[in-house]
Structure 1
Amino acid sequence: MRTSHVFLLLCILGAALFSSAAANNGNGPEDCCFKFYPRRVNKKLIRSYYMTDERCPKSGAILVTERFRHICADPNLSWVQGIMKSLDEQAF
């Protein structure tokens, strides 16, 4: 009877340790773009940008507006490339 209690306690302890390890496995990217903003954005409204993580399913440029709104845009579009180039030149 005593052995079964110890075995049950070890099983519960093992399950608790496994569940906490599985819950902490959130090492994915923070910001990904799943849909791109469909319209052109005025360059004067954008204060900065950053690219999505390489682990994201789509490569995207996240444009940050003056009001700190984040807009996902397709980095292959010419107007997005123009904004990124302009902001890069302002940094120097």
Structure 2
Amino acid sequence: MKTTQFLLLCILGAALLSAVNCNNANGPDNCCFKLYPGRIQANLIKSYRLTDHRCPKSVIFITKKSRSVCVDASAS
């Protein structure tokens, strides 16, 4: 009985530790997987930033209303 409880406790502890390690992974913060298909007027854009090199190539435009819009980096 004690061996079974100890084994169950070890499995539970391993599961909790693996969940903590997954949350601390060093991945990109912002990736764009759904791109805006249209054109954005230049006067509505406040700033922009490129996505991380580990993400699909895209640009994130920040509008004057503080909204983020993802567009294809190769689009003109």
Over 4 Å off, 4+ runs? none
User: Structure 2: where are the runs of 5+ without partners?
Assistant: none
1:69 equivalent to 2:67? Answer yes
CA-to-aligned-CA distance 1:20-77 (integer Å, 9 cap, x gap): 2222313232221112110110111111111222222x11111111111110011112
1:12 equivalent to 2:8? Answer yes
After TM superposition, the structure 1 = structure 2 runs for residues 1-92 of structure 1, keeping only pairs within 5 Å, are 4-5=1-2, 7-24=3-20, 25-26=22-23, 27=25, 28-56=27-55, 58-78=56-76
Report which of the two structures shows the higher radius of gyration computed on alpha carbons: 1
Structure 1: distance between partners of 2:62 and 2:8: 48
User: Structure 1: where are the runs of 5+ without partners?
Assistant: 79-92
- Supply the RMSD in Å over aligned alpha carbons: 1.6
Secondary structure in 2 matching 1:53? coil
Amino acid at match of 2:31: C
State the TM-score, normalizing by the size of structure 1: 0.67
